Amino acid sequence: MIEVRDLQKNYNGVTVVNIPSLVVQKGETIGLVGNNGAGKTTFFRMILDLIRPSQGQVFSKGENVRATEDWKRYTGSHLDEGFLIDFLTPEEYFNFIGKLNGLTPGDVQAFMDRFRDFFNGEILEQRKYIRDFSKGNQKKVGVAAAVMSDPELLILDEPFANLDPSSQIRLKNLLKDLKRQGMTMLISSHDLSHVIEVCDRIVLLEKGKVMEDMKTNETTLQQLESYFTV
Amino acid sequence: MIRLLLAHQWKEATRSSVWQKNLAINLVLGFFMLIMLLYVVLIGFFMNEIVQAVKPEANVVDVVNRSLLYYFLVDLSLRFFMQELPVLGVQPYLHLPIGKGRLVHFVLWKSITSLFNFLPLLLFIPFALRMLPEVYGTGGAWMWVAGMFLITLINNFLTLYFKRQLVEKPLVTVGFLLAVVGLATLDYLGYISVGTASAVFFRALGNNPILVLVPLAALVAVYLLNYRFLMAHTYPEEMRVGKPAKVGDSTEIGLLQRFGEMGTLIGLEVKLILRHKRPKSTTTMSVFFLAYGFLFYTNKVYTDGFAMLIFPGIFMTGFMMMSYGQFVPGWQSAHFDALLTKRLSPYTFYMGKFWMFVVACTAAYLVTLLYGFMPGVGIKIMAINTACFLYNIGVNTFVILFMSTYNKKRIDLSKSASFNWQGVGASQFIMMLPALLIPILVYLPFGLMDKPWWGIAAVGVLGILGFLFHRQLMGVVVQRFQREKYAIAAGFRQV
């Protein structure tokens, strides 16, 4: 699904991402962990063609993401508030994204009904612009919009941050559902247990380099915790 | 303590990214500001001559005294619309061991630094120093100035108080405004005379310095009013100016829905304009500029020629496009990443902008057709404006869109519109030049050969050609955008 070759990004002579090779198979769910500044977001931005790599390429379904726009059709993503259009209401935003993806208003309505639980009554029919929502609720809007078109590839940057415990659990269940449907996922998180529970492969970044790349099993949490213990 | 707060304010101002990045522009702006202030001082200094020129018989000091209260009424209403409420970011200090009272005093004192408070000083001190000592003596002249400044400050705090009450208890503010309007009306109808009151008060002030206590007492009263109001409302959510926007029913413009993706994009942009102050005032301004033609069309010097009519033609039919378009895609900097990653090709994105410009130009063009009713030159104006309109939609749209790829400065839409230089860079200044000059250059050779109508036709034909080949031209724009998008996105991410 995703293939990274020789990828590097330098800022003023400092290498922030340096991944010689990484392959993500279709249907795989990958959790990206690492301390602040490890290069997780930069890596995601390069996959989404938001940052020009200093060197190397990212291939999505065998095509360089910089050469075509095809990946936009099957990729859903939410990295930060920059992905939201904050002067719209959530409904307007969903309708806008829906239209870009060729969904009918009926489809969008059905989608919103499906997410009613996840929204916990705090998102829809609030008569508020997205910019007036709390960070957590903004995140819910972003994540929901990202999965709206049933993308084949889903990229989320710290989806659990700012969410209340119930919402974290709902999100976890949602992601597991999507995984069962065969969606390929790339999720970064600081919450080790959540990410291990959702993902079947963990990639550990430090200073832009892949330090560990492992399948999750019973001991993964212990391994990671011992890695991060200072 | 106050010194520390002042230091923080100073740092906030000088470290703001807008200030640092646009140093050159700020210097230019500062220069113009200085010149303006210099004019004000000069007007004050030559007030005597100015009044004499208008009313040769009158006693200048009397005239000024009579008009002062009117001046303050105008000042008050101007302030009401233009003066910004000083909002020290109080929030980061509230949990620290600093008395609330101090913070409130600081916020209030800070408001005194508003330019509105210094204009009257610049205007009237030169006048007072030159004219008043011989009437009231030096002491009297200074008391006159003091009284005048105190009233300025009263205006300042009245504005602050009633602007804040606008959120809390709108009726109080409305009542106050009605009182002011009522006063003006009564004066106009001749029941009372603000002028006489003004003359009596300021003459007395000059002759009897003790009277300065009257505005002083009033000032103290207004200050305390503000102080008590703010003390009761130091909670961050109550300090906010304006409540969170109320959302009406989501308004989708039905017509736009028929144009598919393009319609959706234009609908999004229309919402952007309607829901933010700055783009809204930018577009509203362009409505006023439709009257720009009168400056040219009423003057025979211009209407006899052609070249000087091309300029207003381009300007009027294209102003909305140019004033809004010069910041594209900066208006969308806050959600630019979304636009890049959602299912949307840059080609469609820019096509949406193109058609929006075409609609805006067409609307402006239809209005300028009204100039056709002008006797004598109407037909000529219509013909030239038609050519300019065609040129705008066929060529200038692409000039603007191509230049827009040089915009790498973030625009924060929540900031206000006036004196906001955010997002302004060199490209804004350079952009207007080709858009306005090239059509005149196209016309020029024909004009020199004494075939002006051919020149106008050439401008129009160029526009038609550009419009016919808009897909190809758009390809050029998009190609450049593809190269630049990383730099643009990186610039927009910098808050």
pLDDT tens string B28-38: 778 888 888 88
CA distance A91 to A123: 9
pLDDT (tens digit, 9 = 90+) per residue, A18-36? 999 999 999 999 999 999 9
Final residue in a domain of this structure, among B239, B266, B292: B239
Predicted confidence band of residue B425 (pLDDT cuts 50, 70, 90): low
Average pLDDT over residues B426-452: 82
Assess if residue B245 is contained within a domain. no
Q: Among B249, B270, B342, which would you mutate to test the A interface (most chain A Cβ atoms within 10 Å of its Cβ)?
A: B342
Final residue in a domain of this structure, among B239, B274, B305: B239
- Examine the domain organization and report whether B355 and B469 are in the same domain: yes
Assess if residue B155 is contained within a domain. yes
pLDDT (tens digit, 9 = 90+) per residue, B30-88? 888 888 888 888 888 888 888 888 777 878 888 888 888 888 888 888 887 777 776 65
A138 Cβ under 8 Å from any chain B Cβ: no
Q: Among A16, A45, A112, which would you mutate to test the B interface (most chain B Cβ atoms within 10 Å of its Cβ)?
A: A45
Assess if residue B244 is contained within a domain. no
Residue B424: what pLDDT? Answer: 58
Assess if residue B246 is contained within a domain. no
Cβ of A96 within 8 Å of Cβ of B264? The answer is: yes
- Examine the domain organization and report whether B280 and B396 are in the same domain: yes
* B342, closest residue in chain A (CA to CA): A72
**Angle in degrees, 0-180, between the axes of helices B47-54 and B60-82, rounded to the nearest 10:** 100
How many Å lie between the alpha carbon of B186 and the closest alpha carbon of chain A?
Answer: 44
- Examine the domain organization and report whether B195 and B298 are in the same domain: no
A-chain CB neighbours of B336 within 8 Å are 82
B147-to-B47, B122, B125, B388 alpha-carbon distances in Å:
19, 15, 12, 56
Assess if residue B247 is contained within a domain. no
- Examine the domain organization and report whether B322 and B193 are in the same domain: no
pLDDT (tens digit, 9 = 90+) per residue, B283-300? 877 887 888 888 788 777
CA distance A75 to A66: 14
- Examine the domain organization and report whether B72 and B215 are in the same domain: yes
Domain that holds residue B260: 254-493
- Examine the domain organization and report whether B163 and B261 are in the same domain: no
Q: Rounded mean pLDDT of chain A?
A: 89
pLDDT of B258 higher than 50:
yes
Looking at B5-161, which runs of residues are DSSP E strands? none
Residue B22: what pLDDT? Answer: 64
Of residues B10 and B417, more confidence is placed in B10
- Examine the domain organization and report whether B224 and B322 are in the same domain: no
Assess if residue B347 is contained within a domain. yes
Residue A56: what pLDDT? Answer: 92
**A63 phi and psi, to 5 degrees?**
-110, 140
Assess if residue B453 is contained within a domain. yes
Name the residue facing B489 among A50, A73, A91 (closest C-beta): A50
Residue B241: what pLDDT? Answer: 45
How many Å lie between the alpha carbon of A101 and the closest alpha carbon of chain B?
Answer: 6
- Examine the domain organization and report whether B214 and B284 are in the same domain: no
**B426 phi and psi, to 5 degrees?**
-60, -35
- Examine the domain organization and report whether B89 and B17 are in the same domain: yes
B276 Cβ under 8 Å from any chain A Cβ: yes
How many Å lie between the alpha carbon of B332 and the closest alpha carbon of chain A?
Answer: 9
pLDDT (tens digit, 9 = 90+) per residue, B139-177? 888 888 888 899 999 999 998 888 877 767 778 888 888
Cβ of A83 within 8 Å of Cβ of B413? The answer is: no
- Examine the domain organization and report whether B331 and B470 are in the same domain: yes
Overall number of domains in chain B: 2
Cβ of B264 within 8 Å of Cβ of A99? The answer is: yes
Which residues have C-beta within 8 Å of that of residue B87, sequence separation ≥ 6? B107, B239, B241
B367 Cβ under 8 Å from any chain A Cβ: no
pLDDT (tens digit, 9 = 90+) per residue, B341-366? 888 888 989 999 999 999 999 999 99
Final residue in a domain of this structure, among B182, B210, B239: B239
A12 Cβ under 8 Å from any chain B Cβ: no
* A85, closest residue in chain B (CA to CA): B335
Q: How are strands ordered across the β-sheet holding A14-24? A: A14-24, A2-11, A55-60, A63-64
- Examine the domain organization and report whether B307 and B421 are in the same domain: yes
pLDDT (tens digit, 9 = 90+) per residue, B298-336? 777 788 888 888 888 998 898 888 888 888 888 888 888
Cβ of A128 within 8 Å of Cβ of B244? The answer is: yes
Assess if residue B249 is contained within a domain. no
**Hey, what domains does chain A have and what are their CATH numbers?**
2-228 (3.40.50.300)
- Examine the domain organization and report whether B213 and B314 are in the same domain: no
